[in-house]
């Protein structure tokens, strides 16, 4: 007779054979024999399910620790406390694609998909780093490689537009390379049981797609907002008290604060015991991204107007 903590135990080992662990656990929990156990008998989870419970419990801590670690490294590299926030915006932009990718691929929200999300935190920030670093260097001005000429410092709008223009190719190329490398894993090639590796690859590929597309559109706007915030952070309370901010900007800042609280609570959603968890989490992630983009649109109206003027100028000059 086997014992666990001095109590007699009977163990049942089950082979998944490609079935999702969460779905199998839910099916077992609905059995009448499990729901009506005799007095003195209780169910104890071990193996993969026990590991899954521990992983879900530590997922929020791992996400917060990972974000803080990335922020500290970026502060040391950029020697600035504000611009790393711009780079970290790429993280929520990637979550919607990861969960929608899992939903479309019919994959479970499992331990491997959580590992893919943690991997995605480091991968998704690279696009923002390329854009922000190039924009900062363009605003400073630099000497040409041959040392003969000095490139004049760009204005903020010129630097951001130039960064999107010149860094869009390497951003897209690195994303395509990463996606192509993960595609065989997502399709289950080279593995007898792809149920563990495939969700991780699907989460990474889906997150990279949305992060790449939205980074080229949203990160420049966030960069301008963070730059304005850095310059006028001491004047902002006085402006709010004197009502010098327009209603659009007040609504934008309010929505941005609500979105921040929304995303801080997001890592705890997987811990909830809810049916169709992957569908619920996917909807929550997409709604969060839509609210964030809407808030950025309210605050970045001037930036979009400058883009239109810049495009008209370029097209007009090219036509002449």
Condensed to tens digits (0 to 9), the pLDDT of residues 95-120 reads 888 888 888 888 777 778 888 888 88
> What pLDDT is recorded for position 155?
84
Average pLDDT of the segment spanning 21-47: 72
Rounded Cα distance, 27 and 22, in Å: 9
Task: Classify residue 315: in a domain, yes or no.
Answer: yes
Residue 1 lies in a domain: no
Q: Does residue 17 sit within a domain?
A: no
- 241/233: higher pLDDT: 233
**64 C-beta neighbours (distance < 10 Å), count:** 12
Local confidence band at 190 (pLDDT 50, 70, 90 cut-offs): low
How many structural domains comprise the chain?
1
| pLDDT at residue 207 greater than cutoff 80 | yes
Examine residue 294 and state whether it is found in any structural domain, yes or no: yes
Q: What is the DSSP string of 181-220?
A: HHHHHHTTTT-S-TTTHHHHHHHHHHHHHHHHHHHHHHHH
Asked if residue 262 is part of any domain, the answer here is yes
Of the two residues 145 and 173, the one the predictor is more confident about is 173
Q: Is residue 300 assigned to a domain?
A: yes
- Is the pLDDT score of 144 beyond 60? no
Tell me, letter by letter, the H, E, C secondary structure of 247-296.
Answer: HHHHHHHHHHHHHHHHHHHHHHHHHCCCCCHHHHHHHHHHHHHHHHHHHH
Query: Which whole number is the average pLDDT over 165-180?
Result: 87
Cβ neighbours around 50 below 10 Å, total: 11
> Which residues span the domain enclosing 237?
53-319
- Tokens 């015991």 sit on residue: 273
What pLDDT is attached to residue 303? Answer: 60
Contact, 11 vs 2, CB < 8 A? Answer: yes
Token output for 84: 């790393």
Chain mean position to CA 160: 22
- Burial letters 99-123, b for 16+ CB under 10 A, else e: bbbbbebebbbbbbbbbbbebbbeb
Kindly state the tokens that stand for 280.
């619920």
Tell whether 32 is covered by a domain.
no
When pLDDT is averaged across residues 127-154 and rounded to a whole number, the result is 74
Q: Which domain CATH number covers 309?
A: 1.20.1640.10
């Amino acid at each position: 007779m086997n014992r666990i903590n001095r109590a007699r135990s009977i163990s049942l080992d089950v082979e998944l054979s490609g079935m999702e662990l969460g779905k199998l656990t839910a099916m077992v929990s609905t059995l009448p024999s499990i729901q009506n156990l005799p007095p003195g008998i209780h169910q104890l989870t071990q193996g993969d399910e026990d590991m899954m419970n521990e992983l879900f419990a530590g997922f929020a801590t791992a996400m917060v620790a990972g974000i803080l670690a990335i922020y500290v490294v970026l502060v040391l590299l950029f020697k600035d406390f504000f611009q790393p926030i711009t780079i970290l915006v790429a993280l929520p932009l990637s979550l919607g694609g990861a969960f929608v990718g899992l939903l479309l691929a019919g994959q479970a929200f499992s331990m491997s998909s959580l590992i893919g999300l943690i991997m995605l935190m480091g991968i998704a920030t690279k696009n923002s780093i390329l854009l922000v670093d190039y924009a900062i260097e363009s605003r400073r001005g630099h000497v040409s490689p041959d040392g003969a000429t000095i490139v004049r410092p760009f204005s903020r709008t010129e630097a951001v537009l130039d960064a999107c223009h010149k860094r869009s190719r390497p951003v897209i190329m690195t994303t395509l390379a990463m996606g192509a490398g993960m595609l065989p894993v997502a399709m289950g090639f080279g593995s007898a049981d792809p149920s563990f590796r495939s969700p991780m690859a699907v989460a990474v590929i889906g997150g990279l797609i949305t992060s790449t597309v939205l980074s080229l559109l949203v990160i420049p706007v966030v960069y301008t907002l963070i730059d304005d915030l850095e310059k006028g952070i001491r004047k902002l309370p006085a402006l709010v008290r004197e009502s010098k901010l327009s209603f659009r900007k007040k609504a934008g800042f309010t929505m941005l604060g609500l979105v921040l609280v929304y995303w801080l609570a997001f890592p705890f959603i997987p811990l909830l015991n809810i049916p169709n968890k992957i569908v619920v989490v996917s909807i929550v992630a997409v709604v969060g991204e839509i609210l964030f983009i809407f808030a950025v649109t309210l605050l970045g109206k001037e930036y979009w107007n400058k883009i239109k003027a810049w495009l008209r100028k370029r097209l007009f000059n090219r036509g002449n």
